[in-house]
Structure formats: C-alpha cells, structure tokens
C-alpha cells in the first residue's frame, strides 16, 4: 500500500478509526507488517539463542576465559533496549555489572578490563559508531551485533573486534527478539549470566508463544488488549513498576512513543514513593491537577520485594483515577516475566496506533532529523 492509500481507504469508509475493527484497521494501516513481525517474536528469540554459541563463533571461548570487570553496552533506541534487559538480569544473577551507555562518548571510568558490546541494528547508528571506534582505538575487546553497515566491518580493521550478526529487514524495535537473544546467548556462553537448566528455555518459549497468540489484536479484536487500548485512547498514560522491571517499563514507553505517537511517563517503585507520589495524591488535597485523568498501569511479577508489593497495593487503593490496573508479567523468572510483559505491551501499542489511525511503522520525525543531520555534516 502506498503512503497516501491508507488515508484514502479510511476516508472512503467514512468512519473514524474507533468505528472500525482492529482487524480492518490492520489491513488499512499496517503496510510494513508490524503485526506479523510481532507474531514472530518468540521464533526470533529461539533463533538468536541457538545462533549465539561457541560452536558458531569460536571466539566466545577466548572471551569466556577472560576475567572481566564488567560489560559496557553501547547502543541507541531499540538497539539499546536489550542492554537494559541483560543489565537487570545481571543485577539478579550475574557475575559482573552490566551498564548501558547511550551516547557518542565513553564514560570516563571505562577501561579495557570491561568488555564492550556494541549494538546497532543498521550498523550505522552514529552515536554507537563513534563510541565503539573510540573504545577500539583505546584497545577494547568488543563484540558488535548488527545486520550490516559500518559497524559490521570493524572486525576487519580491529583484531579484538568480533561480529555477532543479527537479522535485518525490519525496524529495530521489532528486531528486539533477534538482538536481545544474541546478547543473552553471548553472556551465558562467556559465563556472565548463568546457563538455564536443560529444557527450561524451550518450555519458556512455548509459554511465551501462547501469550503472543492470546494477545493478538487481529485475531481477537474485542479482547482485553483492545479494551485496554480504548481506555488509553484519550487519556494521559503512566507506567509504574518495581526497579527490576524498569527495562520493560521503558520499552513500553518507547513503543508507545514510536508505534502509537503517544507520550507516556514512567515511575519506578520504591524511588517514586519518595517524590512523585505527592503529585499522584490520594490522601489530602495535594495532587497534580491531571492525576485523576491518567490511565495508570502498574507492572508486576511474582519475584517483587514484599515491601514493593505492599506499596503497589496502597497506590492502587488510593489512586485518584478510575483507570488503575495491576498487570502481572507471567513466569517463574525475571527473564520470562519481562518478556511476557513485552509481548503484551507491544500488542497494546499497536492497537493504540490503529485506534489513532496511525501506521505503527511510521516514524517521520526521527527520519527527518536523521536526514537533517546528514545534510549539515
């Protein structure tokens, strides 16, 4: 479908997006296959885990024998999201710290005892490229994860740079499964994160696939996901959750920003209870004037600290909005809970895009900014 066909087909129906089914909206708006890419998420995860092994990349054996002080992940946007997830996993069960740097420069404290993982889906993200080349010139051992571009060519120049290729042909935010699974497989195989027990990954993937199918807004256009998106349509959005789920919170915010062209605010518990809670109100007269207008979504999982669970219960009981929900990430591990939430949140962001009459793949302002930066170099 050509760019202008979306608008003309909807105008010919003479109906607002809210009057059409999500299945009809998908046909009219999803001209880059975002729905199908979302359906492929679990297969992407499976493929990356199988791909990122020492059998395919023997250089991992050398990295496994090296004692690292930590891991520094370089990247931007959807290519950086995986670093947030493995950082959260490392805080729970890792052997060294994993930090994410979203910038042109390296942190001042970095040294070559830290392994660098540089991720750019296109291989041409300017911030990641500049920081990676700086690290390599300083003697860094670096793994680059990319589908091509300049980044993928750096191992030909620098002997301590290694390529872990990813899968292209889609927007970076929809390639999260490809990217994150390669990062996860790498860090398991070099001893930074623990290997799962036999069969655990496959059982998890089976459960996650059920979630992908159960939340599918085209196959179930009147289901819970569609109803949540309808509630969010005309209201400000706030996303809250515990510290360890901050990567899922941030990804949800970013998916709403890009897919749905909507703002969303993120609050992390317990930190927000020491400041932002006053603006939410619920006790006395002090509160932000817009607090009662928000949709409030609190992401949870079964491994939360007991005090955080109590804080969430209190916040829901004292919410000033009628639209406050606790949404549980299913699974016995932090990894599975975060991925389960990603699946749900991706479907919500796509449903919300359709209800706004937006193609979820369209990112005009980002594309325009990149073109401007290229023109003024």
The whole-number pLDDT of residue 14 equals: 64
Q: Beta strand pairing status for 295-300 and 70-74? A: unpaired
Question: Does 35 reside within a domain?
Answer: no
Q: Is the pLDDT reported for residue 1 higher than 60?
A: no
Q: Which helix (H) or strand (E) holds 278?
A: helix 277-280
Rounded Cα distance between 36 and 30, Å, is 9
If one counts the domains in the chain, the total is: 2
Is 220 within a domain? yes
Q: Domain of 108: which CATH number? A: 3.40.50.10490
In a domain, 117, yes or no: yes
* Residues 99 and 171 occupy one common structural domain: yes
User: Is 250 a member of any domain?
Assistant: yes
Q: Is residue 310 part of a domain?
A: yes
Give pLDDT, residue 19: 85
Q: Would residue 210 count as lying in a domain?
A: no
Last residue of a domain, one of 149, 174, 189: 189
Q: Which domain holds residue 307?
A: 3-18+216-355
Q: In this predicted model, what pLDDT tens digit does every residue of 183-224 receive, in sequence order?
A: 999 999 999 999 999 999 999 999 999 999 999 999 999 999
Is the model's pLDDT at 8 over the cut of 80? no
List Cα–Cα distances, 290 to 74, 281, 293, in angstroms: 36, 11, 5
Residues 178 and 47 in one domain: yes
Confidence of residue 17 (pLDDT cuts 50, 70, 90): confident
Q: Is residue 203 part of a domain?
A: no
The β-bridge partners of 72 are 99, 116
Task: Tell whether 147 and 243 lie within a shared domain.
Answer: no
How much is the pLDDT for 321?
96
What would the two tokens of residue 11 be? 């105008």
- Write out pLDDT tens, residues 149-174: 999 999 999 999 999 999 999 999 99
Residues 109 and 76 in one domain: yes
Say if residue 12's pLDDT is above 80: no
């Amino acid at each position: 479908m050509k760019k202008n066909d979306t608008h003309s087909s909807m105008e010919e129906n003479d109906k607002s997006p809210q009057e059409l089914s999500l299945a009809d909206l998908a046909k009219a708006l999803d001209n880059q296959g975002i729905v199908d890419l979302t359906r492929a998420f679990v297969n992407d995860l499976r493929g990356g885990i199988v791909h990122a092994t020492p059998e395919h990349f023997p250089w991992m054996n050398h990295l496994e024998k090296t004692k690292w002080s930590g891991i520094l992940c370089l990247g931007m946007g959807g290519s950086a999201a995986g670093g947030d997830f493995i950082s959260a996993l490392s805080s729970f069960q890792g052997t060294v710290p994993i930090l994410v740097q979203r910038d042109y420069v390296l942190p001042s404290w970095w040294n070559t005892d830290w392994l660098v993982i540089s991720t750019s889906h296109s291989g041409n993200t300017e911030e990641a490229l500049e920081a990676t080349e700086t690290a390599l010139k300083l003697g860094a051992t670096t793994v680059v994860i990319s589908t091509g571009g300049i980044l993928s060519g750096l191992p030909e120049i620098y002997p301590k740079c290694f390529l872990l290729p990813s899968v292209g042909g889609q927007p970076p935010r929809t390639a999260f499964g490809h990217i994150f699974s390669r990062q996860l497989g790498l860090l398991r195989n070099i001893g930074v994160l623990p290997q799962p027990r036999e069969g655990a990954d496959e059982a998890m993937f089976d459960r996650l696939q059920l979630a992908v199918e159960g939340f599918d807004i085209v196959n179930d256009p009147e289901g819970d996901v569609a109803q949540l998106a309808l509630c969010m349509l005309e209201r400000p959005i706030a996303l809250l959750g515990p510290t360890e789920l901050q990567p899922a919170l941030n990804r949800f915010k970013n998916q709403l920003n890009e897919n749905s062209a909507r703002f969303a605010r993120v609050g992390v518990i317990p930190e927000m209870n020491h400041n932002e809670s006053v603006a939410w109100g619920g006790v006395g007269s002090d509160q932000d004037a817009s607090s009662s207008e928000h949709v409030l979504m609190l992401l949870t999982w079964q491994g939360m600290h007991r005090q955080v669970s109590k804080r969430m219960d209190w916040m829901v009981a004292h919410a000033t909005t009628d639209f406050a929900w606790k949404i549980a990430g299913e699974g016995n591990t932090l990894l599975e809970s975060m991925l389960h939430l990603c699946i749900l949140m991706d479907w919500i962001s796509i449903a919300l895009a359709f209800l706004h009459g937006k193609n979820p793949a369209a990112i005009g302002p980002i594309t325009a900014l990149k073109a401007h930066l290229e023109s003024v170099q």
